[in-house]
Amino acid sequence: MSTPPTSKTPAKKSSNPIPNKERMKMPRQHMPEALPQVRNKQFTEVNLGYSAELARQEALRCIECAKPTCVTDCPVGVKVKDFVQLIVDGDYLGAAAKIREDNVLPAITGRVCPQEDHCEGGCLLNKKGQSLGIGYLERFVADYEQQHFDVSKIVKAAPTGKKVAIVGSGPSGLTAAGDLVTKGHKVHVFEALHEIGGVLVYGIPEFRLPKAIIRQQVDYMRAMGVEFETDVVVGRTITIDELMEEEGYDAVFIGTGAGLPQFMGISGEHLNGVYSANEFLTRINLMHAYEFPKYDEPMVDFRGKNVAVIGGGNTALDAIRSSLRLGAGKAFILYRRSEAEMPARIEEIKHAKEEGIEFQVLAAPLEFLDDGKGWLKGARCQKMELGEPDLSGRRRPVPLPGSEYEIPLAVAIMAIGTTANPIIQTTTPGLATTKKGYIQADDTTQKTSRRGVFAGGDIVTGGATVILAMGAGRRAAKSIHEFLASGEW
């Protein structure tokens, strides 16, 4: 009962002909990229992907550690060393199958994972130079699979007769769905929006993660037997209790993701031209506002205007790089700490700088200024310095007295995080929540306070990354399977 086919290659001696010492001297293969001055005007993908030749060259750098930290540092435990060896062998479909044993969304993680925090972070090659390009290799293998693997060959697992509802089709939900369907459970995914993918679709721009890639990964899951239903807001259209009592689901996984966008609570946030990053990115990504008037969703005119994004995470960088592509005259990040504390991926910061994004760090807005007609005309800002570390371990920004200054702005986009979405919590009696309103779930089993109900991803942890949400989906799938098999809570 194996859905996607597992690699036929058993663990074996490396076929890599290069001595380990030599491997450590080989330079990391660069990811081919669109030119900064071309790509900053269009929404097509920035990274172009390794060729088979580049992939092999890079794979040959792996020194095949006895205790690979790349595997243990991966939130879903991808067997990096094994799949890299399969690339060396030229068995790309085998490599894809090896990744799929632990990760149902390889073409996505290969593009958006912060590898430096996980697999590549502990890579021993870092000591001599640069880590192995694990993300790039994963992307290569996944893209190769999309072009060469016939999904009709997927063998479906024998049905267990159990039904699982997945609420939300973002990274945690898709991961849980993929893992559960391979166990033979009937899996039905509910999505509130009109497209499958959650934050992958509405949050991450085309130039970083093309929609076609998401669709292909979702089609693969359909071929595995996962059912999808759009336009269902669980909590409104149907409740968790109705799913279990009336529609006969034996278990439910809640992976509804990041919640309501936060604002700073400063004066002028209601002016026209002030957006939440969620709204701005949803208009661009889900609704194609950058293709107006071919698509109906409108966007304010960015051409030649000053645009600032407030925040320093991946969302902030996605928003500011999208602004540039809409024709912003000057696009900059306004971040209250320094660049070292930015939570964004290193590659995104590099790409943003190449494209001409300005970074104004150690600065934050105090108020947004009205042009007298209800539109934003600027911001009054304040400079900061770094003080003692706060709860997050990062040094706390402290306002510098007398450092206030004004900047002209036509658009300001707030990318300062989210708070818990209350829809499910308020419509599911007995579902315990944290002080901040997130769903309480066990760290290892993802069990909530309600029997048969599991939760994971941002709705449990607050805003985090795609791969951390996937890790939660994976843990949930494991314990859902155990629950369905044993009936014990």
Summarize as ranges the residues that interact with other proteins (CB under 8 A).
192-194, 202, 230-233, 236-238, 258-261, 263, 265, 269-270, 272, 275-276, 278-279, 282-283, 286-288, 292-301, 374, 421-423
Beta carbon nearer to other proteins, 227 or 339: 227
* Cis before 10 (ω within 30): no
Beta carbon nearer to other proteins, 357 or 376: 376
* Spatial contact of 472 and 456, defined as CB atoms under 8 Å apart: yes
Beta carbon nearer to other proteins, 94 or 365: 365
- Distance of closest approach, residue 225 Cβ to other proteins, in angstroms: 23
Looking up tokens 């632990």 gives 102
* Spatial contact of 331 and 320, defined as CB atoms under 8 Å apart: yes
Beta carbon nearer to other proteins, 96 or 281: 281
- Distance of closest approach, residue 243 Cβ to other proteins, in angstroms: 11
Beta carbon nearer to other proteins, 94 or 261: 261
Beta carbon nearer to other proteins, 59 or 218: 218
Beta carbon nearer to other proteins, 260 or 398: 260
- Distance of closest approach, residue 271 Cβ to other proteins, in angstroms: 8
- Distance of closest approach, residue 261 Cβ to other proteins, in angstroms: 4
**325-363 burial, b if ≥16 CB within 10 A, otherwise e?**
bbebebbbbbbbbbeebbbbbebbbebbeebebebebbb
- Distance of closest approach, residue 325 Cβ to other proteins, in angstroms: 18
**What is the spatial distance between Cα 348 and Cα 477, in angstroms, rounded to a whole number?**
31
Half-sphere exposure of 317 (CA within 13 A, CB side): 23
In sign, the C-alpha dihedral spanning 47, 48, 49, 50 is negative
- Distance of closest approach, residue 177 Cβ to other proteins, in angstroms: 20
Q: Hey, what are 1's tokens?
A: 């009962």
The four Cα atoms 404, 405, 408, 409 give a dihedral, to 10 degrees, of -30
- Distance of closest approach, residue 137 Cβ to other proteins, in angstroms: 33
- Distance of closest approach, residue 270 Cβ to other proteins, in angstroms: 5
Q: How many CB atoms lie within 10 A of CB 389?
A: 11
Beta carbon nearer to other proteins, 144 or 280: 280
**What is the spatial distance between Cα 252 and Cα 459, in angstroms, rounded to a whole number?**
14
